[in-house]
Amino acid sequence: MIAALHVCNEKCIDFRGRWQDRGVTSFQLTVDCADPGLLTRFWATALGYDIESPPDGFGTWNAYWRSVGVPEDELDDDVDAADSLVDPAGHGPRIWFQKVPEGKLVKNRLHLDLRRGGGRTVPLEQRRERVLAEEARLIEAGATRLRVLDPEGMDHFAVGLADPEGNEFCIN
């Protein structure tokens, strides 16, 4: 999973080298992958996000991409070619699954923590049950368990998983 984030809270340099006043910068999370359709469906299930519809006036993403000049050999074979997710409430970032030729080779340097346990105000045993229930749901959707994070003497429980292409994430 690869993501490029750049946030300037006061001033930063724009692409022409000029200083610009900035607030919080919105961003898109981009995930390099071999099968955008597979990961789009998996992460929609995991996050409760919606698969993004094509722009108005286009029945499919491929129709849209053709309209802006994307060559046929770069289009996904999937007729719909949906490769992005959006937060239905409009708060979270758009997530785009970008098809790349190379596979994942090493551990992620960035991963998502899915907060499904309820936080420290919820008793540890109840958090554990919630995390394990979510883990079972996501394993059914295509995830693989990597490890259980249950340090003795700590008020913490999480599981480390991998999505269908091996990108690590945690549920806590």
Measured CA distances, 69 to 55, 63, 64, 98, 125 (Å): 15, 10, 9, 17, 54
Assess if residue 5 is contained within a domain.
no
Q: Into how many domains does the chain fold? A: 2
d(CA 3, CA 17): 23
Domain end, chosen from 67, 99, 131, is at 99
> Using one digit for the tens of pLDDT, what is the confidence trace for 46-56?
999 999 999 99
Mean pLDDT on 65-81? 81
Sign of the CA dihedral 150, 155, 156, 157? positive
Residue 26: what pLDDT?
83
Shared-domain flag, residues 27 and 59: yes
N-to-C CA span, the chain: 19
> Using one digit for the tens of pLDDT, what is the confidence trace for 125-147?
999 999 999 999 999 999 999 99
Shared-domain flag, residues 16 and 92: yes
Tokens matching residue 151: 């340090």
Rg over alpha carbons for the chain, rounded to the nearest Å, is: 19
Assess if residue 76 is contained within a domain.
yes
Is pLDDT above 50 for 2?
A: no
Shared-domain flag, residues 19 and 88: yes
Domain end, chosen from 99, 124, 147, is at 99
Packing angle, helices 124-140 and 36-47, rounded to 10: 150
Domain end, chosen from 99, 127, 161, is at 99
Q: Do residues 1 and 68 make contact, with C-beta atoms less than 8 angstroms apart?
A: no
Residue in the block written with tokens 């898109």 = 28
Please list, in sequence order, all residues whose beta carbon lies within 8 angstroms of the beta carbon of residue 116, skipping any fewer than 6 positions away: 130, 131, 134, 171, 172
Shared-domain flag, residues 87 and 121: no
Residue in the block written with tokens 């599981």 = 159
Shared-domain flag, residues 65 and 128: no
Residue 4: what pLDDT?
41
Assess if residue 30 is contained within a domain.
yes
Task: Tell me which residue range forms the domain holding 148.
Answer: 112-171
Mean pLDDT on 15-19? 64
Residue 70: what pLDDT?
86
d(CA 34, CA 132): 28
Assess if residue 6 is contained within a domain.
no
Residue 24 binned pLDDT confidence (cut-offs 50, 70, 90): confident
Give the global pTM: 0.80
Assess if residue 104 is contained within a domain.
no
| Bridge partners for 19 per DSSP | 13
